[in-house]
Amino acid sequence: MTDNNAGWKMDNSYSRLPNLFYTLQTPTPVKAPEVVIFNESLAEELGLNSEVLQSEEGAAVFGGNEVPEGGTPLAQAYAGHQFGHFTMLGDGRAVLLGEQITPDGNRFDIQLKGSGRTPYSRGGDGRAGLGPMLREFIISEAMAGLGIPTTRSLAVAATGEEIIRETMQTGAVLTRVAASHLRVGTFQFAANWGKKEDLRELADYTIKRHYPELQGEEDIYLSFLKKVIHKQAALIARWQHVGFIHGVMNTDNMTISGETIDYGPCAFMDTYDPATVFSSIDREGRYAYGNQPYIGGWNLSRFAEALLPLLHEDEDEAVSLAEAALSEYPGAFETEFLAGMRLKLGLFHEEKEDKELISGLLNLMNKNGADYTNTFKALTFEKLEGSELFKADEFTQWHKKWQERLGRQEQSKEDVHELMRNNNPAVIPRNHRVEEALDAAVKGDMSVMLKLLEILANPYEHSPEQEEFCQPAPPSAGPYRTFCGT
């Protein structure tokens, strides 16, 4: 155990659940831990001492050689539907150290990813490579900058050891921060391998931690289901607004808190196309950009199935209640999606024809191979050149309808511009820029990644410094593929 001059104020409430849900597991020590990158602003929010944590003391924690005082390291058990197939899972290369209690009393999981074998490793070595862990750092922090609920990255530590994947890689451990790591798959695990009382205890714990406002309600578990449904509808709508493709929307990668988790084969779309897939293992397009809303509903159906024993004693009645709750999802998603798209188009109020206006633009973008982010940026600043889209007669007709729509609201042109500027990012983590940063970082040059992170921290700033990061990859780059990094 470390001493407490780093600012750790740790607990592990999850360890007080039935031991069915976890295995106590100390991280496997590494040869020579060294902090490669550290998130000072996040550390401050957590009440941690950045200076101490960037020293050897911090490296020992982030590498898994020391456990902060008050921590109870464990590997969580969960199940999941992976590409539609149900299986027993669990933290195969991660250890939850505990929960940091922040100065304002909030509770955040501190998890080490890449910290060695656990009983759930399924034959793997439990380790992670430096490149994939730095990639999660970049994308998760970019998501935070965009204002999208997400797990965060506190640090990446190199281990002083190498791991074998397709090639030899530098070993690394990511320190991930989350509201919690409770997943749809955690509830599936409870429903399949636990007793009803285990499921109830897990639900009560989750409600107390994430939805305390529900405590005391008569149909508390039904209300809980509906809360999660609406949280996920809002989250996935936010992904769609910025062209984010998760890549591996298995049920074990859907959090109950409504945070984005697991940045393996994810990426942001350049050219708008609903069929876009980046993951090397998603050969059928199950998790394509355009499918994400539907998969969200499918995953929530699995969550509802897990909760059935708590919804009602009578199974048929429980199913009816679950189906009624799930029927709210499509409307909730559409409401959230259209609300965000209105903001991107400078619309302050609702009109019935807005859905047609929005889909009309998206269809034209798809037809003309337009860049998703840059199209909305061009509309924001009224710089309609340099794209085949803007030359199309159909776009001219659409633009006229949009201008007429803007004219039917009382807000000024300046108000419209400000609304659009605040909802259309100048920059996203372009795939070629991410790869450029990672290539340099694994060779020992962190400057490219640090510059990229600085740019991505304020995506709505629209500063001159961001301009060079706004360009899509050159045609010579070819199709982009991402990998799980396991």
Residue 1 lies inside a defined structural domain of this protein: no
69 in a structural domain: yes
Amino acid identity, position 188: Q
Does residue 40 fall inside a structural domain? yes
Confidence of residue 486 (pLDDT cuts 50, 70, 90): very low
Final residue belonging to a domain, choices 111, 146, 178 = 178
Do β-strands 74-76 and 22-24 pair in parallel, antiparallel, or remain unpaired? antiparallel
Domain identity same for 288 and 195: yes
Q: How far apart are CA 434 and CA 453, in angstroms?
A: 10
Q: Is residue 4 part of a domain?
A: no
Query: Which residue is catalytic, options 109, 252, 270, 282?
Result: 252
Domain end among 178, 211, 234: 178
Distance between CA atoms of residues 135 and 170, nearest Å: 14
Cα separation, 187 vs 184, whole angstroms? 5
Range 47-57 average pLDDT: 97
The mean pLDDT value for 409-416 works out to 97
Assess if residue 2 is contained within a domain. no
Residue 265 shares a structural domain with residue 401: yes
- What digits encode the pLDDT tens for the residues 335-347? 999 999 999 999 9
User: What pLDDT, on the 0 to 100 scale, is given for residue 30?
Assistant: 97
Told to judge if 252 belongs to the known catalytic residues of this protein, a careful annotator would answer yes
Report residue 3's pLDDT band, with 50, 70 and 90 as the boundaries. Answer: low
Overall average pLDDT of the 41-50 stretch? 98
Pick from 129, 135, 94, 90: nearest CA to 111: 94
Shared domain check, 191 and 103: no
- pLDDT tens profile 92-148: 999 999 999 999 999 999 999 999 999 999 888 999 999 999 999 999 999 999 999
Q: What is the DSSP letter of 424?
A: S
Q: What is the pLDDT of residue 395?
A: 98
Report residue 167's pLDDT band, with 50, 70 and 90 as the boundaries. confident
- Tell me the residue ranges of DSSP E strands in 3-127: 10-11, 22-24, 34-38, 74-76, 79-82, 85-88, 94-101, 107-113
Mind listing the pLDDT tens digit for each residue in 71-80?
Answer: 999 999 999 9
Question: From CA 156, how far away is CA 437, in angstroms rounded?
Answer: 15
Helix (H) or strand (E) holding 176: strand 168-178
Q: Are residues 144 and 212 in the same domain?
A: no
For the chain, the average pLDDT equals 95
Do residues 137 and 238 both lie within one domain?
no
Mean pLDDT of 219-232: 98
Say whether both 169 and 206 belong to one domain.
Answer: no
Task: Give pLDDT tens digits for 24-43.
Answer: 999 999 999 999 999 999 99
Q: What value does the mean pLDDT take over residues 306-326?
A: 98
Statement to judge: residues 235 and 136 lie in one domain = no
To 10 degrees, what angle do helices 315-326 and 328-344 make?
A: 10
- Pair (170, 193) in one structural domain: no
Q: Domain for residue 385, yes or no?
A: yes
Per-residue pLDDT at 243 exceeds 80: yes
Report pLDDT digits (tens) over 321-335. Answer: 999 999 999 999 999
Confidence of residue 415 (pLDDT cuts 50, 70, 90): very high
One domain for residues 202 and 350: yes
How confident is the model over 441-448, as a mean pLDDT? Answer: 97
Query: Of 136, 161, 178, which marks where a domain is finished?
Result: 178
Indicate whether 466 pLDDT > 50.
Answer: yes
Number of domains the chain is built from: 2
* Domain membership flag for residue 24: yes
Share of the chain above pLDDT 90, in %: 91
Element (H, E) at 435: helix 431-442
Look at residue 5 and tell me if it is in a domain.
no
- Indicate whether 66 and 199 sit together in one domain: no
Q: Say whether both 377 and 469 belong to one domain.
A: yes
pLDDT value of position 483: 62
Please give the pLDDT value at position 413. 96
Could you report the per-residue pLDDT of 276-301, keeping only the tens digit for each?
A: 998 778 878 899 999 999 999 999 99
pLDDT interval class at 476 (50, 70, 90): low
Range of the domain at 86: 10-178
Residue 254 shares a structural domain with residue 337? yes
CA distance 300 to 41: 34
Q: Whole-angstrom Cα distance, residue 183 to residue 81?
A: 12
Phi, psi of 202 (to 5 degrees): -65, -45
User: What's the pLDDT band for 273 if we cut at 50, 70, 90?
Assistant: very high
